[in-house]
Amino acid sequence: MAKDIFVFIEGKDEGVRKSSIELLSKAKGITKNHNSTTYGILIGPKSEEMVDTVRPYPDKLIVVRGDGLDEYRWDTYTPILERLIKTYRPFLFLGPSTITGKDLFPRLAARLGAAYISDATGIEFEGEEALVKKAMFGGKIISWMGINEKDCALVTFRPNSFSIDRPSGMAEVIEEMGDGKSEEAITVLETKKTMEKKVDLQEADFIICGGRGMKGPEQFGIIEEIASLMEGRVGASRAVVDAKWRDYEDQIGKSGKTVSPKLYIGCGVSGALHHTMGMDTSKVIVAINKDPNAPIFQYADYGIVDDLFDVLPALKEELKKLKEQAG
Ligand SMILES: Cc1cc2nc3c(=O)[nH]c(=O)nc-3n(C[C@H](O)[C@H](O)[C@H](O)COP(=O)(O)OP(=O)(O)OC[C@H]3O[C@@H](n4cnc5c(N)ncnc54)[C@H](O)[C@@H]3O)c2cc1C
């Protein structure tokens, strides 16, 4: 079986999610070594700019067009992808561990009866065998899972798992038609957008996360300022979201979002397992907590045992100075 790889390309407004480009870049590196093909799969592109943005990354780009396909829906996208996988028979189908990926991939795996690994953070090859890296038990264990499927296996990866290589080439575009009519008796009556944040939490390189130690919603102003100085995003623990200090879309953890930024700073976050499951693969973790025994310090690369209300103003001032120096 040829080691061709499919990559699901997820749109965002009129553009393409960075995590999709990361996956295309990684897949291309793999298929180059196996003399096989990376296919990008783009369903219902909202603009031709989306097609142009992704074209330099895969070897081939399958663009599926049809009425009603411009918004993701599991009931229309799943049968299209099932058909494409059965036709092209790739060895792997990669996608992002975003809300869409987490909805789509398990459904598709069930339809295909295929193996599925969620929330992975790496992939390597030992000879012909693909090994997928995944953190388990809140990051206490790093597992490597071998794929020995004859048929296509599905894997979703946390955003920021791979770097983006400089693209080389221009993919051949394969046009396919798809049916945007639902197989199920579901009609979407209205879609409402929540307030748009400048940087997507799952794709942010920098996240400063507030926990219950922040004491109240009004104290989040300072971490908003730090996030803005660092061009990053504010995250929150579930305790904070449950207390209605922040919106659910900011929640990191088991019942929130999984993130993997280059730098995560936890402020007054205890580091409960349900929280760390969502941030344990951050590249550098800094914890600010006045309790030296807080579990978050077991995950932290740098720990500050102090009152966050003393540390954060000092941090903000230093960042401002650095920003001014940098001009
Ligand atoms: C099924 C399930 C799913 C869950 N999903 C999630 C999830 O997705 N995300 C999530 O976060 N949680 C989740 N939880 C809840 C999780 O178990 C914890 O209860 C929660 O993460 C605790 O939030 P916290 O760290 O903000 O609060 P706390 O545990 O109350 O910690 C507050 C910390 O702040 C420190 N602190 C207080 N004042 C200061 C100060 N002035 N300066 C410095 N430090 C200070 C304290 O020492 C303490 O460590 C889930 C729970 C369950 C059962």
Site to probe by mutation for ligand 1, drawn from 237, 249, 252, 288 as the one with most ligand atoms within 8 Å of Cβ, is 237
* 97 contacts 156 by C-beta, under 8 angstroms: yes
**Which residue CA neighbors atom 30 of ligand 1 most closely?**
212
pLDDT of residue 189: 81
Mean residue pLDDT of the chain comes to 92
**Which residue CA neighbors atom 40 of ligand 1 most closely?**
307
What mean pLDDT comes out for the span 28-49? 94
Residue 81 — very low, low, confident or very high, per pLDDT cuts 50/70/90? very high
What mean pLDDT comes out for the span 178-196? 74
Span from the CA of 210 to the centroid of ligand 1 (angstroms): 9
pLDDT of residue 62: 98
Model-level pTM?
A: 0.79
* 7 contacts 38 by C-beta, under 8 angstroms: yes
Span from the CA of 280 to the centroid of ligand 1 (angstroms): 15
Two domains, one topology: 5-177 and 201-326: yes
Specify the range with the lowest mean pLDDT, choosing from 33-47, 175-189, 223-237, 244-258: 175-189
Residue 12 — very low, low, confident or very high, per pLDDT cuts 50/70/90? confident
Helices 220-229, 308-326: axis angle to 10 degrees equals: 30
Using the structure block, give the residue that is written with the tokens 């080439």: 169
Q: Hey, which residues does 129 pair with through a beta bridge?
A: 126
Site to probe by mutation for ligand 1, drawn from 245, 275, 306 as the one with most ligand atoms within 8 Å of Cβ, is 275
% of the chain exceeding 90 in pLDDT: 74
In ligand 1, which atom is closest to the CA atom of 236?
A: 11
Which residues lie closer than 8 Å to 288 by C-beta, 6 or more apart? 265, 266, 267, 268, 304, 306, 308, 311, 312
Residue 179 — very low, low, confident or very high, per pLDDT cuts 50/70/90? confident
Exposed, middle or buried, 26 (CB in 10 Å: 0-12/13-18/19+)? Answer: buried
Angle at 82 between CA 112 and CA 186, to 5 degrees: 100
pLDDT digits (tens, 9 = 90+) for 109-166: 999 999 999 999 999 998 888 999 998 877 778 899 998 877 899 999 999 899 898 8
Q: 46-66 in b/e burial notation, b at 16+ Cβ within 10 A?
A: eeeebbebbbbbbbebbbbeb
In ligand 1, which atom is closest to the CA atom of 237?
A: 11
Span from the CA of 318 to the centroid of ligand 1 (angstroms): 27
Amino acid at 47: S
Would the pLDDT of 195 be above 90?
Answer: no
Would the pLDDT of 259 be above 70?
Answer: yes
In ligand 1, which atom is closest to the CA atom of 240?
A: 26
The domain spans of the chain are: 5-177, 201-326
Does the 5-177 domain belong in CATH 3.40.50.620? yes
Using the structure block, give the residue that is written with the tokens 């299209």: 80
Higher pLDDT: 71 or 155? It is: 155
**Which residue CA neighbors atom 39 of ligand 1 most closely?**
213
CA 315 to CA 265: how far, in whole Å? 11
CA 303 to CA 293: how far, in whole Å? 11
pLDDT of residue 40: 98
CATH number of 201-326: 3.40.50.1220
**Which residue CA neighbors atom 47 of ligand 1 most closely?**
291
* 160 contacts 168 by C-beta, under 8 angstroms: no
pLDDT of residue 199: 77
Span from the CA of 296 to the centroid of ligand 1 (angstroms): 10
